[in-house]
A and B are shown apart, each in its own frame.
Chain A
Amino acid sequence: MDNRFRRNIVDMVCRGRDGHIPSAFSIVDIISILYRDILKVDSKKPSWDERDYFILSKGHGCLALYVVLKEHGFITDHDIENFCKKGGILGEHPDSTKVPGVEACTGSLGHGFPFAVGIALGLRIQNKDNRVFVVMGDGECHEGTVWEAAHVSSNMELGNLCVTVDWNGSAAQLCPKDDLPAKWRAFGWNVQVIDGHCEQEIKSAIADVQFSKRGAPHVIIAKTIKGKGVGILEGHGIWHHRIPNAEEYKAIMEALT
């Protein structure tokens, strides 16, 4: 669990006076490992032809992506400091037209994953070996387009596609019959279930994925905790879209020390 990224996220929210802290804490471990150990990307050439594509389909978790993009040199301290500021390139949802390394404008749930399916198909049509990674929310799985995309990519055998579902329990608040692994299996995907905050399990699950131009697509159902790492933020309460006051900021930073 990387507290440094979490502290950076809280600082961005307090400075920018906006943002979704718990949604970012839920996925920051997954995204940081993807960029550090898995993805073939180059911050000096964000549009490099041979790159892996990473799509954050749950766009409201973008703070996790921003701090990792900064870590790997895609964006700068200046960009981070100007989160949600006039003239800045970073907003509350990632914008591919502004941010180097962001492949899709997401935020309206149920768009990023279908867009990624098109990328995966487009790469296969052109006989390219690039891989496509998606991180999406379990609440996002309420969207019909998610299951259209799951159904079609399985039938098209897009084996170059790996989705991670951030299974933090958001969906189950409304629809308690929430057996996500069974649903994805029923749609013909290779399914793994892991602890989405355990580095070893994340790395091992991705290492087990056999990417191919034609084969069943892969989904990693990552059990996570919304707000993971700070007691007062964890769970599904008031913190979904809230800015800490001075006292709360101090308590959160102490918990992340």
Chain B
Amino acid sequence: MSTKKMRQQFADTMLEVGLIDPKLSVLIGDISHFILQPFAKACPGRFYNVGICEPLIISMAAGMAKTGLHPVVHTIAPFLLERSFEQIKLDFCYQGMSGNIITVGSAFDYSNLGCTHHCYDDFALMKSLPRTQVIYPASPVEFDTLFRETYRNDHVTLFRLPEHQHEQVIDPSLITLGKGIRMAEGCDVSIIAAGPQLKNAVLASQLLKAQGKSVDIIYIPTIHPLDAEMIHQSVAKTKRVIVVEEHNVFGGVGDDVRKIVADISSVKIINLGINGFIRGYGTYEQLCESIGLSVEGILGAVGKILL
């Protein structure tokens, strides 16, 4: 299990891929400037700290794609996704341009910075647009593997880099775009876990095992396209599913799971996510606990769904 921060892996991957591919170019909005200096030095002329002007950065990246480059844009999620949504929609998606949007500060990672720096509708926004992919890697190897696999394909790809990791060991051979990873086999309830919440799902399943209940845990590094086959197969077996995600329950993974399992009779679904604005401050862990994104929250949901 790596102790490397996600943002460091981002910088390392840019350097390694940039040395191989002269078309990889990086635009940032005044964050991660220093950590990306190795890329800037090794790949001269392909790194720009454009400034605090996110809609422009998105449009510029689309223009760069028009000339054949593989652009990467990077800054804080709400400004790059919510503020610049029309630029993503028109300049990238409609026009058929391809590129990569790499955010930090999604959900409530910047817990003490409040609503202006929270962003928990990014899955929904990106999924609503054609030609998009959404990748949510919560360990360094996932980012590195999935970026190399996708960065120059014919899509606009959001990489949501979380501040916190799931701290689980993932077999690199299982990391592929659009594929879920089965972390535990069980038959009583399915848990679909996104991002760092995998950690709580695993801890909860260990406690449940001691109570004689077995959990099917599916971890989803790719949010869109979602691994419908694996999810359907699991829920067909358990008939009970809990989705755990640091995203708005409207338009998140839970909604997709509902569609995937709609043809299975007598399915119970609980979606642990964000419902309305998160107000107030505290640590990331405290905010998670306040909305049920915790081991206790998952155990409570399992108790309810097995009634």
Contact = CB atoms under 8 A, between A and B. Distances in A.
Q: Do A and B bind each other?
A: yes
Interface of A: 96-97, 103-105, 108, 111, 114-126, 128, 144-145, 148-149, 151-152, 156
22 contacts: A97-B95, A104-B91, A111-B59, A114-B55, A114-B56, A114-B59, A115-B66, A115-B91, A118-B63, A118-B71, A119-B63, A120-B63, A121-B60, A121-B63, A121-B64, A126-B69, A128-B67, A148-B51, A148-B53, A151-B51, A152-B50, A152-B60
B68 interface: yes
Contacts of B69: 122, 125-126
Contacts of B51: 148, 151-152
Contacts, number: 96
Given A114-B59, A115-B66, A123-B67, 15 more contacts: A96-B95, A103-B66, A108-B86, A111-B59, A115-B63, A115-B91, A118-B60, A118-B62, A118-B71, A120-B63, A121-B48, A145-B55, A145-B56, A145-B59, A152-B53
B6 to A, nearest CB: 27
A123 B66 CA distance: 10
Nearest to A143: B55
B67 A111 contact: no
A125 B45 CA distance: 6
B48 A105 contact: no
Contacts of A126: 67-69
B94 A105 contact: yes
A117 B56 contact: yes
A97 B96 contact: yes
Interface in B120-144: none
A111 B87 contact: yes
B64 A125 contact: yes
B269 interface: no
Contacts of A116: 63
B190 to A, nearest CB: 41
B46 interface: yes
A126 B43 CA distance: 12
B90 interface: yes
B61 A118 contact: yes
A114 B63 contact: yes
A101 B87 CA distance: 22
B165 interface: no
Q: Most A CB atoms within 10 A — which of B48, B59, B64?
A: B59
A144 B56 CA distance: 9
B51 to A, nearest CB: 6
Contact of A105 (B63, B71, B95): B95
B13 interface: no
Interface string B52-92: 01011001111111111101000000000000001100110
Interface of B: 25, 45-46, 48, 50-51, 53, 55-56, 59-69, 71, 86-87, 90-91, 94-96
A205 to B, nearest CB: 24
A242 B227 CA distance: 51
B25 A125 contact: yes
Contacts of B53: 145, 148, 151-152
When A and B form their complex, which 5 residue pairs have the shortest distance between CB atoms, in order from nearest? A118-B63, A122-B67, A114-B59, A118-B60, A122-B64
Contacts of A124: 45
Nearest to B58: A114
A42 to B, nearest CB: 17
B60 A115 contact: yes
Contacts of A148: 51, 53, 55-56
Contacts of B71: 118
Q: Most B CB atoms within 10 A — which of A114, A128, A151?
A: A114
B90 A111 contact: yes
A118 B66 contact: yes
B68 A105 contact: no
A46 B160 CA distance: 37
A122 B68 contact: yes
Q: Most B CB atoms within 10 A — which of A108, A118, A148, A156?
A: A118
A92 to B, nearest CB: 15
B95 A104 contact: yes
Given A118-B60, A125-B45, A125-B46, A108 B66 contact: no
Nearest to B45: A125
A97 B90 CA distance: 11
A99 to B, nearest CB: 12
A131 B66 CA distance: 14
A118 B59 contact: yes
B56 to A, nearest CB: 4
A191 B66 CA distance: 27
A91 to B, nearest CB: 13
B66 A119 contact: yes
